[in-house]
């Protein structure tokens, strides 16, 4: 059985780590390489780095920032932000990324997933889905949550899997930064329909909330503000997950 993963996320804006609620009201949370090193020392399994203003500014994630972060890491790093072309994957991978997350550009041009998967391998291609509740179902947004899309986010994730995506970074906009727990229903629906790993994001609250997300079907659970603000340690999360019978790397 593959071990479940605990992931830390660095949202980057203007060269600094930031964090807000539901993608809004961003506040400074520190220096990217410093945060990355701390999480690595604490035993995080992977790191996700998202340049949250890159798409809106029509540019690729800062390669210099990625290089600074990756140079301090010996664990997998996923990078997203402003990816529009297949060659952007090369630029981010060369800067130190192990996987590249794509969102808005893939919605506009799904062939981007297929081309990137063929060139770099499925394991490098991560579909980022920013979903929210739109009763009686779910909807999703692009461009850092500023533009809603028609359609079902889970169906879109399934299409991306068929095109060659190797993983889904599934974020609940409703839960982002709220510390109210992960959207377990959304995770469960994706788990039932997808055959690729799911990284659950949005709503991390306490150690049990991570275990809940992993038990609901996520292969990895991601935290940001609870780690930035030192409300929760990665060791504490892993210990609680193990106590609940989940296989984690201690």
Closest residue by Cα to residue 149 from 161, 137, 167: 137
66 within domain boundaries: yes
Please state the pTM of the whole predicted model.
0.95
Closest residue by Cα to residue 240 from 215, 207, 214, 212: 207
195 within domain boundaries: yes
Q: In the prediction, which pLDDT does 81 show?
A: 94
Question: 6-39, pLDDT tens digit by residue?
Answer: 999 999 998 898 887 877 778 788 899 999 999 9
Q: What is the CATH number of the domain that holds 73?
A: 3.20.20.70
188 within domain boundaries: yes
**Number of domains, the chain:** 1
Q: Return d(Cα 249, Cα 238) in angstroms, integer.
A: 7
Residue numbers of the chain with a pLDDT score lower than 70: none
179 within domain boundaries: yes
Residues 6+ positions from 229 with CB-CB distance below 8 Å: 29
Q: Which domain holds residue 166?
A: 5-243
250 within domain boundaries: no
Residues with a known catalytic role: 11, 130
């Amino acid at each position: 059985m593959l071990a479940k993963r605990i992931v830390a996320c660095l949202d980057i804006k203007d060269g600094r780590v930031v964090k807000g609620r539901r993608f809004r009201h961003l506040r400074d949370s520190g220096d990217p390489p410093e945060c990355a090193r701390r999480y690595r020392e604490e035993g995080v399994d992977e790191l996700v780095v998202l340049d949250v203003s890159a798409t809106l500014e029509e540019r690729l994630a800062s390669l210099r920032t990625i290089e600074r972060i990756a140079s301090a890491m010996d664990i997998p790093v996923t990078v997203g932000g402003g990816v529009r072309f297949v060659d952007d994957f090369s630029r981010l991978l060369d800067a130190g990324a192990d996987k590249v997350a794509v969102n808005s550009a893939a919605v506009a041009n799904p062939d981007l997933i297929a081309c990137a998967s063929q060139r770099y391998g499925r394991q490098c291609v991560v579909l980022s889905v920013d979903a929210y509740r739109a009763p009686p179902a779910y909807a999703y947004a692009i461009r850092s949550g500023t533009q809603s899309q028609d359609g079902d986010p889970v169906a879109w994730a399934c299409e991306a899997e068929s095109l060659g995506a190797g993983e889904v970074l599934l974020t609940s906009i409703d839960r982002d930064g709220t510390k109210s727990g992960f959207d377990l229903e959304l995770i469960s629906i994706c788990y039932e329909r997808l055959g690729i790993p799911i990284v659950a994001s949005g709503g991390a609250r306490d150690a049990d909330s991570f275990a809940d997300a992993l038990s609901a079907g996520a292969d990895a659970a991601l935290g940001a503000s609870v780690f930035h603000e030192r409300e929760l340690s990665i060791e504490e999360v892993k210990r609680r997950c193990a106590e609940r019978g989940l296989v984690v790397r201690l």
